[in-house]
């Protein structure tokens, strides 16, 4: 980057610095307009103005300091980060930087001196460079946001709930990949130890498709729970899932499966020796399950 | 509707599933058939990822007379399959899975065409016809 700044267009460069100083109000006002319209109504004018003011000062400062752009880059990285988090697009973010070119161009045109025009080419390159840097930091920030969210989702999406004394349930929602199954398995096994439960219900009502990988993960989880002395019931097998599992040829062996979570609860309650008596007016009925 | 999707990561497999489901709903497949074709897509996309290190899938809606069908074409430049008969046998796996992905997918769809040779990658075309 230092190479660009050392182009022997010193006269032009000086003229640009002067223009940035002399016409500060005008250039800044125009820049704010361009940046403001590109950002839509998502950012309030005063905070944008203070952001741009800071950038403008840093830019002039760095031109003065023999072209050290590191402060300016720091500010731009910060701007990209906040904008990525606020949901701006990369274009909207980059236009903030590129807008300065257009803003200054009007002053250059009025000046019409050869130095100013030559300087503007140099200035253009610097801004292009900074613009690209902004887009890059924006992309990095976005990736970080996505990674963070994926991690949070992994934690959030695997609750283990207690249904009854000695019975826990894991409602699974969404895609089951290796990473998630790992989390589910770890959590389930830990809860089995912590609560001393002997029964676990894995509910897959919210899993859109059960392919061989998901089935394998489920089977492994059940076997692991068994090794710890707990029996697992898989519930929430919808008709289309049952159809698909049969066609694929997956065998669940002696693992108990149920259509609904209610059936699974009834099964585990009976298995753990809880008895229901039907009293008049009661709507609770425990369906008999043939095993 | 036709589109080519890359399969280079696990999240791409999820994306393939979502696109296939959207296409299946669009052409009015029943819920059971939707689930079947989505599951087959998931198996085949994962195969491309696991065994060939990645590939691409083409999703298109085809017409035969009055019947409409959903056609998925999976292609990769992986090592290829040396023995196709063996690969299509239930329970045969080289990747530590259940060994039902390829053979099961064949049963989940109406038409299944597998072309592969060692060193020449694999091309799998499957079609699910509407009822």
Residue A236 CA to residue A263 CA, distance in Å, equals 9
Decide: helix, strand or coil at residue A190.
helix
Helices (H), ranges, B31-94:
31-52, 84-87
Instruction: Report if residue A287 sits inside a domain.
Output: no
Whether residue A223 is found in the same domain as residue A193 = yes
Instruction: Report if residue A90 sits inside a domain.
Output: yes
* pTM as predicted: 0.64
Residue A258 CA to residue A192 CA, distance in Å, equals 21
What is the least distance, in Å, from the CA of B97 to any CA of chain A? Answer: 7
Q: What are residue B69's DSSP bridge partners?
A: B62, B129
Q: Tell me, what CATH number does A48's domain have?
A: 1.10.490.10
Whether chain A has a CB inside 8 Å of the CB on B22: the answer is no
List, for residues B90-125, the tens digit of each pLDDT value: 888 887 788 888 999 999 999 999 999 998 899 999
pLDDT at A16: 84
pLDDT 10s digit of each residue in chain A, 291 long?
Answer: 444 444 455 788 888 888 888 888 888 888 888 888 877 666 777 888 888 888 888 888 887 766 677 888 888 888 888 888 888 888 888 888 888 888 888 888 888 888 888 888 888 988 998 999 999 999 888 888 888 887 777 666 678 888 888 999 998 887 777 777 778 888 888 888 898 899 999 999 988 888 888 888 889 889 999 998 899 999 999 999 999 999 988 888 889 999 999 999 999 999 888 887 766 665 666 665 555
Nearest to B43 by CA among B124, B115, B129, B117: B124
Q: What is the largest CA-CA distance in chain B?
A: 42
Copy the structure tokens of residue A138: 């924006």
B39 contacts in chain A (CB < 8 Å):
209-211, 244, 248
Whether residue A167 is found in the same domain as residue A249 = yes
Q: B98 and A216: CB-CB below 8 Å? A: yes
Torsion angles phi and psi, residue A141, rounded to 5: -65, -40
Copy the structure tokens of residue B10: 């696990």
Residue B19 pLDDT exceeds 50: yes
Residue A215 CA to residue A219 CA, distance in Å, equals 6
Interface test with A, best of B29, B35, B95 (most A CBs within 10 A): B35
B108 contacts in chain A (CB < 8 Å):
244, 247-248
Number of domains in chain A: 2
Whether residue A247 contacts residue B107, with contact meaning beta carbons closer than 8 Å, is answered with yes
Whether residue B81 contacts residue B87, with contact meaning beta carbons closer than 8 Å, is answered with yes
Q: B46 and A210: CB-CB below 8 Å? A: no
- The average confidence (pLDDT) of chain A is 83
A240 contacts in chain B (CB < 8 Å):
31-32, 34-36
Residues 6+ apart with CB under 8 A from B33: B24, B128, B130, B131
pLDDT at B49: 92
Residue B71 CA to residue B24 CA, distance in Å, equals 10
Report in angstroms the alpha-carbon separations of A270 from A33, A260, A261, B1: 71, 16, 14, 52
Least CA distance to B39: which residue of chain A? A211
Residues 6+ apart with CB under 8 A from A16: A63, A104, A108, A116, A119, A120, A122, A123
Instruction: Report if residue A201 sits inside a domain.
Output: yes
Q: B17 and A210: CB-CB below 8 Å? A: no
Whether residue A232 is found in the same domain as residue A257 = yes
Q: B107 and A210: CB-CB below 8 Å? A: no
Q: B32 and A244: CB-CB below 8 Å? A: yes
Report in angstroms the alpha-carbon separations of A153 from A150, A174, A175, A183: 5, 11, 11, 11
What is the least distance, in Å, from the CA of A251 to any CA of chain B? Answer: 10
Whether residue A123 is found in the same domain as residue A186 = no
Residue B44 CA to residue B49 CA, distance in Å, equals 9
Q: What is the dihedral of CA A182, A185, A189, A194, to 10 degrees?
A: 80
Least CA distance to B43: which residue of chain A? A211
Q: Place B69 in a pLDDT band, splitting at 50, 70 and 90.
A: very high
pLDDT at A289: 57
Interface test with B, best of A248, A251, A252 (most B CBs within 10 A): A248
Copy the structure tokens of residue A134: 């902004």
Least CA distance to B108: which residue of chain A? A247
Whether chain A has a CB inside 8 Å of the CB on B95: the answer is no
Least CA distance to A252: which residue of chain B? B98
Residues 6+ apart with CB under 8 A from A263: A235, A287, A289
Whether residue A129 is found in the same domain as residue A10 = yes
Q: Which has more pLDDT, B40 or A208?
A: B40
Nearest to A194 by CA among A158, A230, A219: A230
Interface test with A, best of B39, B105, B126 (most A CBs within 10 A): B39
> Among partner residues B14, B46, B98, which is closest to A250 by beta-carbon distance?
B98
SS3 content of chain B, % helix, strand, coil (to 5): 40, 30, 30
Cα B69 off chain centre by = 14
Q: Tell me, what CATH number does A249's domain have?
A: 3.30.750.24
Instruction: Report if residue A217 sits inside a domain.
Output: yes
Nearest to A73 by CA among A63, A59, A60: A59
Residue B105 CA to residue A56 CA, distance in Å, equals 61
Whether chain A has a CB inside 8 Å of the CB on B16: the answer is no
Q: Tell me, what CATH number does B79's domain have?
A: 3.30.565.10
Q: B35 and A209: CB-CB below 8 Å? A: yes
What is the least distance, in Å, from the CA of B61 to any CA of chain A? Answer: 21
Whether residue A27 is found in the same domain as residue A132 = yes
pLDDT at A2: 44
User: What DSSP letter does each residue of B79-98 carry, written as one string?
Assistant: S--S-HHHHTSTT--SSSS-
Number of domains in chain B: 1
């Amino acid at each position: 980057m230092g190479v660009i700044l050392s182009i022997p267009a010193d006269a032009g460069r000086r003229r640009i610095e002067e223009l940035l100083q002399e016409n500060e109000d005008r250039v800044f006002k125009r820049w704010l307009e361009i940046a403001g319209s590109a950002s839509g109504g998502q950012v309030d004018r005063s905070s944008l103005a203070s952001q741009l003011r800071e950038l403008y000062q840093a830019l002039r400062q760095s031109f003065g300091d023999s072209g050290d752009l590191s402060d300016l880059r720091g500010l731009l990285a910060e701007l990209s980060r906040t904008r990525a988090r606020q949901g701006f697009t990369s274009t909207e973010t980059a236009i903030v930087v590129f807008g300065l070119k257009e803003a200054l161009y009007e002053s250059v045109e009025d000046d019409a001196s050869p130095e100013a025009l030559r300087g503007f080419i140099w200035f253009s390159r610097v801004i292009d460079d900074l613009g690209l840097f902004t887009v890059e930091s924006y992309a990095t920030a976005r990736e970080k946001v996505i990674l963070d969210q994926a991690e949070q989702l992994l934690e959030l999406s695997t609750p283990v709930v207690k249904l009854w004394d000695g019975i826990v349930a894991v409602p699974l929602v969404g895609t089951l990949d290796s990473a998630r199954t790992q989390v589910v398995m770890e959590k389930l096994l830990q809860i089995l130890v912590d609560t001393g439960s002997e029964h676990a219900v894995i509910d897959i009502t919210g899993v859109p498709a059960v392919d061989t990988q998901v089935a394998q993960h489920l089977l492994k989880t059940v076997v692991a729970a068994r090794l710890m002395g707990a029996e697992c019931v898989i519930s929430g097998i919808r008709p289309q899932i049952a159809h698909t599992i049969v066609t694929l040829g997956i065998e669940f062996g002696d693992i108990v499966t149920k259509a609904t979570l209610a059936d699974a609860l009834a099964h585990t309650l009976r298995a753990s020796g809880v008895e229901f008596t039907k009293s008049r007016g009661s709507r609770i009925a425990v369906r008999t399950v043939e095993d | 509707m036709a589109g080519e999707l890359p399969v280079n990561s696990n999240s791409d497999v999820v994306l393939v599933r979502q696109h296939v489901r959207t296409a299946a709903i669009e052409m009015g497949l029943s819920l059971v058939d939707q689930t079947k074709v989505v599951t087959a897509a998931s198996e085949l996309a994962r195969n491309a990822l696991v065994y060939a290190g990645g590939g691409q899938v083409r999703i298109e809606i085809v017409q035969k007379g009055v019947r409409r069908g959903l056609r998925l074409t999976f292609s990769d430049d992986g090592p290829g399959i040396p023995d196709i008969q063996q690969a299509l046998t239930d329970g045969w796996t080289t990747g530590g899975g259940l060994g039902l992905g390829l053979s099961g997918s064949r049963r989940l769809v109406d038409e299944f065409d597998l072309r592969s040779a060692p060193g020449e990658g694999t091309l799998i075309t499957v079609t699910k016809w509407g009822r």
